[in-house]
Amino acid sequence: MPAEEAPHSEHSASVTLLGPQRQPRVDAVLESLQLRGARAAVINAGWREREPEDELLMSLTSGNAVNLRLWHRMQEVWEADPEFAAADQQRRMLLEEMQDLYVIALDHVVDALRTMAERVPRSIQVQRVALGDAQQIMREIDERHLARVNEIHADFWERWPPHERRAVQLLRQLISKDLADAEVVLIPGGHVGVLVGALHLFNIAPQLQVPIVAWGAGAMALTDRVVLFHDRAAHGPSVSEIFTQGLGLVRNTVALPGARERLDLGNPARMGVLARRLAPARCLLLDARVRVDILPGGELPEDAPVLADDGAVTTLGQVR
């Protein structure tokens, strides 16, 4: 949740979301947007301590770029303002515990769904209703969790208004200067929690008035809700979890970067539960070579690859 209320709807420039950039196409995308050689601002706070290792990224912008260094600037805030840092740490601890407990609750609902689905029904209709009820419980847990997360953030920002913290003030001014002459903003992937935290702390959303190209965690951060997912984790598939509110520049969308690698797309039952659980938002599949140009107003275009309610991979146009 942002530190200050952001006028999201005022972002009128283009937003382009991409799949993972292991074979970078950012330069071609910039060219297609007629932004070749344009002054770029880079937000790669999600790379954390590797934030300065941005040579490749810079080269894709023809070198005309500035790194906003949000992660390092965030560390500077914590160092300069230990009281604020301690409060932030306390907030993170609360959020971590909430997330853990929320996942425990979700795990039980997922177990129940599995057991109910695998049971030989005496009445298919009764089974369908029971499954629907359990999914509704899941959606309620999601909504309640996100509301609680927002409460924690709101309470923190109210008690610790960032604009009243000297270190934040100074750094926000520097960031604004860096952003002032940017013609495009690049937001790559990385740690989505750290990235969203940095974007909120420095109140970046209202300043994003130029085209944005984002991928990975960067794409997730631009949506209304950030959902964590990993069906191929080392210790087996984990339940997808609502994590936090994003910047809301892309509407009614849950961005799922690297979907083919991270999701069990061959399991329509599992994918269907995910799609229906997050509806009316659409699950946007951002795989390698995917490019989605968001419509003015923040909606997805018709050709955006999404999950249908039955778990099939399709395009938005097909499911409308």
Q: Which residues bind another protein (CB under 8 A)?
A: 20-22, 46, 49, 189-194, 215-217, 219-220, 228-230, 233-236, 238, 241, 243, 257-258
Question: Cβ–Cβ contacts within 10 Å for residue 252, how many?
Answer: 16
Cα 287 from Cα 262, distance rounded (Å): 10
Closest distance to another protein from the beta carbon of 217 (Å): 4
Please say which residue, 24 or 268, places its beta carbon nearer to another protein. 24
Please say which residue, 156 or 229, places its beta carbon nearer to another protein. 229
Backbone torsions φ then ψ of 315, nearest 5 degrees: -115, 160
Backbone torsions φ then ψ of 289, nearest 5 degrees: 75, 0
Please say which residue, 177 or 289, places its beta carbon nearer to another protein. 289
Q: Residue written as tokens 């590797």?
A: 50
Bridge partners for 223 per DSSP? 250
Closest distance to another protein from the beta carbon of 199 (Å): 15
Cα 98 from Cα 147, distance rounded (Å): 12
Cα 27 from Cα 24, distance rounded (Å): 8
Closest distance to another protein from the beta carbon of 86 (Å): 12
Closest distance to another protein from the beta carbon of 12 (Å): 27
Q: Find out whether 25 and 260 touch, Cβ atoms under 8 Å.
A: no
| 3 state DSSP class of 128 | helix
Please say which residue, 171 or 256, places its beta carbon nearer to another protein. 256
Closest distance to another protein from the beta carbon of 112 (Å): 14
Please say which residue, 67 or 244, places its beta carbon nearer to another protein. 244
Closest distance to another protein from the beta carbon of 163 (Å): 25
Please say which residue, 36 or 262, places its beta carbon nearer to another protein. 262
Cα 309 from Cα 219, distance rounded (Å): 22
Closest distance to another protein from the beta carbon of 241 (Å): 8
Q: Which two tokens stand for residue 152?
A: 């924690």
Please say which residue, 190 or 305, places its beta carbon nearer to another protein. 190
Q: Find out whether 240 and 229 touch, Cβ atoms under 8 Å.
A: yes
Q: Residue written as tokens 């695998």?
A: 118
Please say which residue, 178 or 264, places its beta carbon nearer to another protein. 264
Helix (H) or strand (E) holding 254: strand 253-257
Closest distance to another protein from the beta carbon of 15 (Å): 17
Bridge partners for 15 per DSSP? 212
Q: What Rg value do the Cα atoms of the chain yield, rounded?
A: 20
